[in-house]
Structure 1
Amino acid sequence: MAVLDGKVALVTGASGGIGRQIAVALAQSGARIVAHYSSRRESAEQTAAAVREVGGDAVIVQADLSHSEGVRQLFQQFDEQAGGRLDILVNNAGAGRTSPITTIDEEEIDSMYRVNFKSPILVTQQALKRFNDGGAIVNISSMSGLMAQPPGFAYAMSKAAVNSFTVSMAVELAPRNIRVNAVAPGPVDTDLINGYRDSEEAMRMFKSMAALGRIGTADDIAQIVLFLASPASGWLTGQIIQASGGMRL
């Protein structure tokens, strides 16, 4: 059922993994996709191709979202290619680092916050100029922002900040009937997990973290984002959905 027919969706960090699957899921429900990437153009083209394979429409836009000039460039391309109207924003672009407190340096801390926290703020700020009243914003957070997972404390703190931003924006944008929610994934079968595939111990650990006993898939997350972007979640805002297979049970 094409519940998003006529809607325009911007997905940041859409060149692969969760971002790509979100783009495909939204397209399957009728949304026109603007897929952002930072540096992996070929991968972004593959995302656009995947969208078209399910009968959707997609364009790709490139920008470095860690600074305001990059965000300005993103929306200049968006206006040129998508007509300047936006209905759904998915703030998915992010970075993960795992340095402990004993070795982390200032640049690593600053980089984490530029990409994971400042970027969603700047993108949302510009996106709102293109939203009519109504619509949905979905921020991709992490279970790391809800629980202690050393040594990646800086990553966890940046995602906790995203959660706070989500709740604050839900209140601030409620008069415009713009709903703002977040999805906090646990371990998901993406490039991050692929680096551990040769370690049976690591894979067992990831699976054991969830009550359901498995690692999540990109589509697990995409289907939740689709729900939050659709009219079916019209009475939900300010929620942090723990998409983790029961990590905290």
Structure 2
Amino acid sequence: MMAETFTGIALTGTGSAVPDITLTNDDLAQVVETSDEWIKSRTGIHSRRVLSAKENLTSLAVQAGKQALLSAGLAATDINLIILATSTADDRFGNATRIQYELGAKWAVAFDLNAACSGFVFGLITAAQFIRTGAYRNILLIGADVLSHWIDWSDRRTCVLFGDAAGAVVIQAHDEDRLLGFEMRSDGSSYNQLNIPFHTQLRPLTDDVSIGQGSFMPITMNGQEIYKFAVRSVPEIIDKALFRSGVSHVDL
């Protein structure tokens, strides 16, 4: 008797987590020169959640992961792979293995994926390939960021936009493929429009050898260029994804 094979994927569980602290637009008006009306009219944002000094990205990600597992009806030990999509890991060597440990997913391989705002989409597509090739059957994908750690709170162009949260999905092998299609693009020419840059300082080690050491700086962003890019590129990528999925605009 031949073993049953699955070449498709399905999202079978979801979870999320946000910090307890709410930072409203009126709160931010006490920090920088802004107002609730100014922020809402330009961004639609009324408030954002931020971590306390005692919390970290791992705690948010674990909470979201547990909810997703419960939603899917799986135990942590059923998971084969954990992908953490984040740009703000607690540790430069990554957080995924710590999350694996704290979830009790002892049989799961775990790694971090850094693709900034697109991280969850890249993670979903990456997970799909692992399942479609038969390498894994049950994958936990977590998208989490703690951007409050990297904000310049004196810069009203950026501090009003970002907050902290985590979301998770369980992705499983399925006889019917529920991921209809996707389109991915990268444009490195705009690499300097949104950054958490590394600031290097020269440190002499010997008479002949000097190295660069330093630390990461707060978020820098060219908001106008980001907006232009989104308006130009997002509709195009949606059209391509619909085409690859065999879905028409009228079907939406």
- Compute the TM-score of the two structures, normalised by the length of structure 1: 0.29
More strand by share: 2
Instruction: Compare CA radii of gyration and give the structure with the larger one.
Output: 2
More helix by share: 1
- Compute the TM-score of the two structures, normalised by the length of structure 2: 0.29
